[in-house]
Chain A
Amino acid sequence: MAGDLNAETAAYAPQGDDVSCGVGDHGGAMEATGDVRAEFWQDIPDAPDDAELNELRKLLLRREQIALEKLVRQEGEKNYHIQQVSDVIAEAIIARSGRDSQLRMAIEPIVDATLKNSIRKRQQDFVNVLFPLMGPTIRKSIAESFRSMLGAFSKSVEMAFSWKGLRWRFDAWRTGQSFNEIVMLHSLVYRVERVFFIHGDTGLVLAHMEGEGVGSLDAEMVSAMLTAIQDFVRDCFAKGDEGALDTLRMGEFSIFIEKSNKAYLACIVRGTPHDSFRTHLRETLELMLVEFAEDLDDFSGDTEAFSATERYLESCLVAHYAGDNEKKLPLWAKFMPVLVVLLLCGGTGYYWYTTDRFNTTMREAVQTLRLEPGLVVSHVERQKSGPWKVLALKDALARLPEDVLRRAGFDPSLFEIQTIPYLSYDASIVTKRASTGIDVPDGVEMTFDKGTLSFRGTATMAWILETREKARSLAGVEHVDMRDLRDPRMGEIAEMVRKIESVRVEFPVNKDVPVPEDTEKLQKTVDMLAVLEKRVKEMGMVMTLTIYGHADATGTEKRNYEISQARARTVAAMLYARGSSMPIAMYGMGADHASGDGGAGSASADRKAGGSVQADRRIEFRVYLARAVPAGTEALLQ
């Protein structure tokens, strides 16, 4: 061990003088570090206190002792200085920072490097620390962006369809301004268009900012003038007053001034800002005054340092639009105007469509009534609500108007129909009338055309005669055509009538009894008349017989009338005697008179042709057929 120590001390030998020197220099400090040395020797055992030994020790180990003492002293000094510096370091830093910026400059690179190193090494720790601070700010910023975007969208939707929006569009069209300008003018409550940060004493602009779309202005001159105006106002009207001009107004513009003794903020505002804006201005100015205190104090015209005020100025460029604070409407309410417009359009369209359809339907229904035979629509009254009123003439045989409508598919309840009776000459109605009034039997065809009612086929004579009368009395029937109508039994009767009417029964001179050769002929004729009467009766008809009596030219005229009358009477008596009940007319025609229709030939003519005058003494028959009077109505004929 000793050998090692010797070798080390030998190596230090050339520095011995320096060491001695050093000891002397720090003599003062030695005293103060005495207790440190005592501490140093604490655990080292004391050497034997012997004078000779001490002498020897001095001789042998003097250099080592000195070196050792020096080491001990250095250690003590270091601790002493640490103690001393630690007592004053905080105060020293504060004092030096106040004096100049050298300390800051000295520390800055170290702090920077340490910080960077630290962030690099412990990134996650920093993230964990910073996130709670920055997270909400970032979220807020993003939310704000979204809100303003949505706001702009909903505003434009709102504007596009609202009544106000339409009115503004009209204004825009009328004034020639763009719609956006009109919207801005109407909805703008206030907008800070410019903000100036102005040095108090010099009136020089330190920084300024303009809102979007605001034209540029000579900031230097404006800020100087603003300062001049403030000075002017204060000096003229408020001498010695501590107050300051804080607002200037001109029309819709106002200048908001927030002042401190070093600098002030001036905002050019369009509209009237909220009170909170003034507060914001004051707070902003205070922050700026703190941050730029030194720059403001040292200001000598260089505005470079104040470019950092941008973020403060930006915060002052606010705009507030009408409706920004209004209660937010739910989405459906925003689209309500659109819905209303759509519903109105649809409703109106539907109304037009249905009304048109309804009117068309009604007109069609009326037209149907007009086309109906036996109906004449004389008046139609359209009601605003309720059924339409229709006034019509109606033939008794026409269909009911309600039935007509119903059959045509219309709702009769939509009409209130009043009818007035009348007689229709419409062909179909006349036909109907004929069908109703005339009982047409099988075998008879009835047609009506152009006022003529025609029959064809076979029927009894009685029906034919009855129908002829009826048909002529039908309204709308101008002619009755029965030429093609036949009674099959009429042939037999006609033959009998022809035979009877051709019979000539002759009488002797001045006698009312027929000559014997004609008695049988007369008898046969009377039989035939009886058969005829029976046949006629069977057909529902009645017959009338007329007997004409004639005399020859001899004798007096008076006698001739008497004898001719007597001859007719004789034959009538013969008929009655045989049970005939038909009416018989008897006429005494006197001498040389032909019978009424001359149907039986002329006795006089025969005589002139060389015939006997016997032929003038005769009787002739004429038969008339007629419809039987219905039973029980005979009295009416009398």
Chain B
Amino acid sequence: MISKKICLLGAFSVGKTSLVEQFVHSIFSDKYLTTLGVKISKKDVAVDSVAVTLVLWDMEGKDTYADVNLAYLRGAMGYLVVVDGMRKETLQAAMDLHHLAEKLSGKSLPFYFLINKADLVDQWEVTDAMLDSLDKKSIKFFRTSAKTGQYVNEAFNALARDMLLASRA
């Protein structure tokens, strides 16, 4: 059996918890987020018929990432950084969190950016130009919607695949 620890990062109110609630399985209440600063969930995915259990560490989103409990990032094998498409400042926070994670792990871990709230794309502050710049930095992203489920599963699957490849390398 293969298990992977992944972290869900992102600024406050970007919709991380909504993503998790919709598409993953959890036995713990949301209260943990505010008490422990983390909520554990689980998602089973299959990559080329290999079952992979993703153990999600949904980290409490804060405006300032300095307060993120970095200890929770330890041992992560991949991560998702969530951005609120309607608030461009969350993209910057995501970048900061991404750098922090990279720095902390000391190596390049598989990761994806999830530009969330794709169902309200017309109200987005995050522009295509900003996304292009992500491309230039080789940052892969999905336009997701916790509401419609758009690209959520795809994002988890892609991350799982990348992590499997990384561990085989």
Contacts and interface: CB of A to CB of B under 8 A. Distances in A.
Interface in B1-28: 1-5, 25-28
Nearest to B69: A235
Contact of B42 (A200, A203, A220, A303): A220
8 closest Cβ contacts across the A-B interface?
Answer: A201-B75, A300-B167, A202-B75, A231-B71, A202-B5, A224-B40, A204-B3, A301-B4
B77 interface: yes
Interface in A483-534: none
A302 to B, nearest CB: 5
Given A221-B41, A235-B69, A303-B2, A202 B36 contact: no
A225 interface: yes
A229 interface: yes
Nearest to B167: A300
Contact of A221 (B36, B52, B55, B166): B55
Given A228-B40, A231-B72, A221 B2 contact: no
A199 B2 CA distance: 13
Contacts of B77: 202, 300-301
Given A224-B55, A229-B36, 6 more contacts: A201-B75, A203-B57, A221-B40, A228-B57, A232-B37, A300-B77
Interface residues of B, number: 30
A218 interface: yes
Given A218-B42, A220-B55, A228 B75 contact: no
B99 interface: no
B95 interface: no
A201 B71 CA distance: 9
B3 A301 contact: yes
Interface string B71-84: 11011110000000
Most buried by A among B2, B27, B40: B40
Nearest to A231: B71
A221 to B, nearest CB: 5
Contacts of B157: none
Given A218-B42, A221-B40, A231 B74 contact: yes
Interface in B48-63: 52-53, 55, 57
Contacts of B26: 221
A503 to B, nearest CB: 153
A541 interface: no
Contacts of B27: 218, 221
Given A221-B26, A221-B41, A225-B40, A201 B167 contact: no
B40 A205 contact: no
Contact of A224 (B1, B5, B163): B5
Interface string A226-238: 0011011011000
A486 to B, nearest CB: 129
A204 B163 CA distance: 15
Contacts of B25: 218
B38 interface: yes
A302 B74 CA distance: 18
Most buried by A among B5, B26, B41: B5
Given A203-B55, A300-B167, A228 B42 contact: no
A301 B2 contact: yes
Contacts of B71: 231-232, 234-235
B8 to A, nearest CB: 12
A200 B55 contact: no
Interface of A: 199-205, 218, 220-221, 224-225, 228-229, 231-232, 234-235, 300-304
29 contacts: A199-B75, A201-B74, A202-B3, A202-B55, A203-B5, A204-B5, A204-B55, A218-B27, A220-B3, A220-B55, A221-B42, A224-B5, A224-B57, A228-B40, A228-B57, A228-B72, A229-B36, A231-B71, A231-B74, A232-B36, A232-B69, A301-B2, A301-B163, A301-B167, A302-B2, A302-B167, A303-B2, A303-B3, A304-B1
Interface in B102-128: none
A225 B28 contact: yes
B53 A203 contact: no
Interface in B131-169: 163, 166-167
A227 to B, nearest CB: 8
Contacts of B3: 202, 204-205, 220, 301, 303
Nearest to A306: B1
Contacts of B53: 220
Most buried by A among B26, B28, B55, B72: B55
Given A204-B5, A221-B26, A224-B55, A232 B42 contact: no
A202 B73 CA distance: 8
Nearest to A300: B167
Given A202-B77, A221-B42, A228-B57, A303 B1 contact: yes
A394 B18 CA distance: 111
Contacts of B41: 221
A281 B154 CA distance: 42
A300 B75 CA distance: 10
A234 B69 CA distance: 11
Contacts of B69: 231-232, 235
Nearest to B56: A224
A77 B133 CA distance: 70
Nearest to B50: A302
Nearest to A232: B36
Nearest to A200: B75
B75 A203 contact: yes
A231 B77 CA distance: 17
A75 B33 CA distance: 79
Contacts of A303: 1-3
Contacts of B2: 301-303
B152 to A, nearest CB: 19
A432 B52 CA distance: 120
A301 B1 CA distance: 8
A228 B52 contact: no
A473 to B, nearest CB: 117
A219 to B, nearest CB: 10
A301 B42 CA distance: 14
A294 to B, nearest CB: 15
A202 B40 CA distance: 12
Contacts of A221: 26-28, 40-42, 55
Contacts of B4: 204, 301
A427 B87 CA distance: 132
Contacts of A235: 69, 71
A234 B71 CA distance: 9
Most buried by B among A202, A234, A304: A202
Given A204-B5, A218-B27, A220-B53, A228 B36 contact: yes
A224 B62 CA distance: 21
Contacts of B40: 221, 224-225, 228
B134 to A, nearest CB: 27
